[in-house]
Chain A
Amino acid sequence: MDCLSHKSEISKTFSSVRNFSFEEKKVSIFDEERMNAFLDAILEFKNTFQRKTEKIIEINDRIERVTWFNDLDEESLMLINDLISSIKDLHSTLIRQYVSLNLIRSKGIAKEEIKNFKNAIDDLKENYQDLESVYFFLPEIPAFKETTKLLSLV
């Protein structure tokens, strides 16, 4: 009698393992598809931020080149003033985007891309501050103006 009940239990266990194994084999195929879709989405996300970062770096280079322009008239200075306002606006939009990435960042997704994005945004801020210094603040410091004059005589 004992032997019979054992056999029945073994058969039930076998059946349970068999069914579960079969289900899992099917599920693993399904999971692979979902995993691929998930990885594709991460890749696309990384590419998007890489492209944004490259664009910001390109803008940063262009802003730096503006500081090498000579003999700017009043109208050009007004354009630079508009440019500074526009960069400030861009910076605040990008910072908002960066803050909205907090959850993704905390999960360790696209860590490098988000870090590079933030560094490029920080450079953008530094660049508009520098642009403002070069054209509006430093020329107003008498010692600075005097040094430029004296250096031209060295």
Chain B
Amino acid sequence: MDIFCLEDFKVEFEKLKGKKSYSSIEDDIINYFFGKNAQELSSGVRLNNSSETPYIKKRLNGSGGFRFYYLLIIKDEKLYLLFVHPKTGALGSENITDESKAYLYKKVLGCIKSNDLYQLSLNEETKKIDFKKV
């Protein structure tokens, strides 16, 4: 599975990674998203009622952990990370609004069409995520 993300995701990721209480975010992404197939990644809450291109909200790292929003395009074996927020702590929030979910969903479609994305890969030691502009 090739993994991409929106600029919004990269900004949030870097902001959270810099905070001690959210520093597990990089390991959480590596452990959950990398080296998995579409079936393994098809869990959580499916927001868009689509089997081919499921838009998913996934809770990671327990109840107080992170909420990831991502889109899978199964036939292309591609995954797009749209947004992440923690549930608790100084930067935590309960949920995002339906309007925000719709906004991110529309935005990822535009970014896919215009190639305005970052591709995620792991460094040699597979301990860090590299972001490369597509």
Q: Which residues of A contact B (CB under 8 A)?
A: 64, 67-68, 70, 116, 119-120, 122-123, 126-127, 129-131, 133-134, 137-139, 141, 143-144, 146-148, 150-152, 154
Contacts and interface: CB of A to CB of B under 8 A. Distances in A.
Given A68-B42, A154-B53, A154-B73, 9 more contacts: A64-B45, A67-B45, A123-B59, A123-B63, A130-B47, A130-B95, A134-B49, A152-B50, A154-B113
A134 B45 contact: yes
A10 to B, nearest CB: 63
A141 B98 contact: yes
Contact of B47 (A67, A122, A152): A67
A147 B51 contact: no
A136 to B, nearest CB: 10
Given A64-B44, A152-B52, A147 B95 contact: no
B47 to A, nearest CB: 6
Contacts of B112: 154
Contacts, number: 81
Contacts of B45: 64, 67, 127, 130-131, 134
B63 A119 contact: yes
Contacts of A150: 109
B57 interface: yes
Contacts of A127: 45
18 contacts: A67-B47, A119-B62, A120-B63, A122-B63, A123-B63, A127-B45, A131-B45, A134-B47, A134-B49, A144-B48, A144-B102, A146-B106, A147-B102, A147-B105, A147-B106, A148-B48, A152-B53, A154-B113
B43 interface: yes
A148 B101 CA distance: 12
A132 to B, nearest CB: 9
B125 interface: no
Given A123-B63, A126-B94, A126-B95, A138 B53 contact: no
